[in-house]
Structures are given as structure tokens and as C-alpha cells.
Amino acid sequence: MIPAEKLYPQREALYQETHARPFPRVASSSRVSHLVLLFGATTVEQELRHLGLLCGHFGQAPPQPEARSYYQDLGNFTLRWQRHGEFSTYSFFAAGAESAPFAEPALAQVPAVWVAGLPGQVLGSANFVLSPLGTGFSEAAKFDALGTAIQVGSQVKGHQTQVWSSLQLDASGFVRYLLLDQGMNEAQLGRVLQRMMELETYRILALLALPLARRMSGRLNVMDFTLILVADQIKQISELEAKQNLLAKLSELSLEVAELRSHSFRFGAAEAYFELVEEILQDLNEEKLPSQLTFGEFLHRRLMPARRTCQATMRRIQDLGQRIDHASDLLSTAVNLSLEEQNQELLHAMDRRQHLQHRLQEAVEGLSIAAISYYTIGLLKILLKGGEKLGLPLNSDLASAVAVPLVLLLVWWAVHRIKEKIIRKS
């Protein structure tokens, strides 16, 4: 026995996940209505609450609060609900397949008010009729039941069941599927039915990205042409301002691409759904009936162009983003080089101005020394003349002449000492 504290908290839930969505067991005379709803902002609590209303109407226990799937016999029909990543499926199973099998589908057993209040948007809707092959359906009745000239059919699962459909919406907004049993038991027939419901679900979900891809096509064409013009202008312009304007335009394009890339989830989900369709068709193991397209042949011809359109759109978005990034890098480099050239020119101009300022400073310094010396000598000459008047044995003119070089030298020394002190402090 493993101690409880050693067990991973979600261990039991992980084991139960394998059995969370078992195949239904259906009789060979049954009617099934299948709805696929995109729940959008609808919470699981809202769905469970709505399911609880139906269960209460028929006096049955509602689903548990943490449920992500729910199966319940409600008397005249059986309900199967499953919540997935972005959609929920509601399947209704009723017994009996009348001579006009699609006249009263299984959904007719469900209160219309409850159906109208289903949370989310209905994306897929299909009615299935299961009947033993050769009983209740003549060849004419089989084709009349589907109601269209274009029909797809094949033998599936080791030739034990024929499956027929037009894969088109009828007047009531449902796709019709006719499953003719050739001796399968309820479990085997349930697996075939489940695969066909999944095929109907995922083929529609896979196409959700197609309208988006078509809408993006025009924008991508404009953006592609704009990028070509910008790339051509990069080669021609040399002015810094023009380069900066182009860089701003590239930034706007890059933001647009980022917006388109935000839809990558939709394209990634579509690719996953396309792969699921392929897996289901492979699992059905179809064998061709005379003069009829199989589901694989029909869907391959119809879905592959849509799949390639979505793939091409995603590649175009990625390629355009890479080209914009490359052009932005080139233009940013050109702008940086232009700015560096301007900075170099500015530095050279500053050097020239500094040199001129230095020369001017030297000239001013020389004039300052001359002026200070001139006034100093003038003052000294006045002093000497005053002394001479007082009777001192002086020749004021001769003394002034002798003092000139001394005064000049002293003033020069004083000015340079002051200049050195200023430089050291700065």
C-alpha cells in the first residue's frame, strides 16, 4: 500500500481522464441530434446551471459542480454533454427510426424553450438516423431521406456499416447522416456514431480560420506593397529626417503585423482540427461504394484548399514580420550612421570653435597684460615724479623706462598664476 502523502494530488483525476468520455452504446434503430456550441465568454457554471434546468424538468439529478462531461437518461431521450477547449457538444439520443426518419429528430424530445436558451453560439448541428440495412429503407427512400442530389457514402469499419450524408444543411439548419447497420452490436455502432459526430464537429471547427484568412488577405496585400515601397525608398534617400520618417512607417507596419499575429491561436487550432479530421477518416477505414465519393475523398477536395489558405496566410504573416524586422534593422543602422556622421561633424565644429576660443583667449590675455602693465607703469611714473618734486634724487623718466620690462614680467607672472589656479579649481 502506497502511503497517501506520497501520492500526487491530481493522480486519481489523471487516471479518470482516460475514461471521462466513453463511447455511447446505441441500438441500430435510433435517432441522434448533435449540437456544437462555441461557448465564448460563457462559463462552465452557466452551462451546468442550464443543464440543471433540463434535469429538473425531467426529475433527474443535475451534473456535479466540477463536471466537464455529463451523461443522463431523461426518459424519452438520453443526454450527453461534453465541454472542450473552446466549444461544448450536446448530443441527444432517442429510440426508433421511422419511415420518414428525419421528420422528427431526437431534438424534438427536448423542450424548445430550453434549446433556445442554450448558452453560446451554435456552430455545428447534425441529425443522425441509425437503421438496419435492408429494413425500412429502399434505395429510393435512402436517397430521399437525405434530400439532396449531392450525396457522400461509404462502407466503414470493416464493411459492417454504410454511412451516407449530403454534408449540407437542410431546411431546418441541420446536416443529415444516415447510418445503415449490417450486424454491429451496440458498442461497435456507438463507436462509429461517435466518430461521425466528431467528424462533423471538427470539420466545421477547422473552417473557423478560413473567413479570418480571407479578411486578412487584403490587409496583407496592402502591407506587402507598402513594404516594397519603403524598401525602394531606403535605397534612394539620404536625408536623416526622411530616414526617420520611413522608420516610423515601418514601426506602424510592425504593429499591424503584431495585431495579425495575435490571431495565431485561431490558425494553430484550425491546423489541429484538420489533423483530427484526417485521423478520424483514417480510423473509419472507408471502402468505396460504386459511383460514390467517400467522406475522405469529398472532404479532402473541399477542406484541403481551405487548409492551405490558412497555412499560406500564417506563413505570409510570419514572412512579412521577418521582412519588416530586417528592413527596420537596415534603416536603424542607416539612421545611426547618419547620426554618427552628424555627431562627428558637430565634434569637429566644437574643436574648431574651441581652438578659436583659445586663440582669442591668448589674444585677450596679451592685451590684458599690456593694458595692466601700461596703467601700472603710468601709476609708477606718477609716483616717481612726485618723489622727484619732493627733492629725491630721481630721474622719473629714466626710472619709468627701466621699470617697464620688470612690470611686464611681473604682470605676466601674476596673470598666469591666476589662470593656473582657475584651471586647477575647474
Identify which of 192, 173, 176, 175 has the alpha carbon closest to the alpha carbon of residue 184.
Answer: 192
The predicted pLDDT at position 327 comes to: 80
The predicted pLDDT at position 339 comes to: 66
The DSSP 8-state label assigned to residue 293 in this structure reads B
Q: Is the pLDDT reported for residue 129 higher than 60?
A: yes
Distance of CA 220 to the CA centre of its chain: 15
Between 176-180, 240-244, 289-293, the lowest mean confidence (pLDDT) is in: 240-244
d(CA 344, CA 318): 39
Q: Is the pLDDT reported for residue 230 higher than 90?
A: no
Cβ–Cβ < 8 Å for 314, 264: yes
The predicted pLDDT at position 25 comes to: 87
Cβ–Cβ < 8 Å for 249, 237: no
For residues 254 and 17, the model is more confident at 254
* Average pLDDT for 102-129: 93
The predicted pLDDT at position 203 comes to: 95
User: What would the pLDDT profile of 354-389 be if each residue is shown by its tens digit?
Assistant: 777 777 676 666 667 777 777 777 777 777 777 777
d(CA 178, CA 142): 8
The predicted pLDDT at position 140 comes to: 56
The DSSP 8-state label assigned to residue 37 in this structure reads E
* Average pLDDT for 139-150: 66
Label residue 304 by pLDDT band (50, 70, 90).
very high
Cβ–Cβ < 8 Å for 271, 263: no
The predicted pLDDT at position 250 comes to: 81
The predicted pLDDT at position 273 comes to: 95
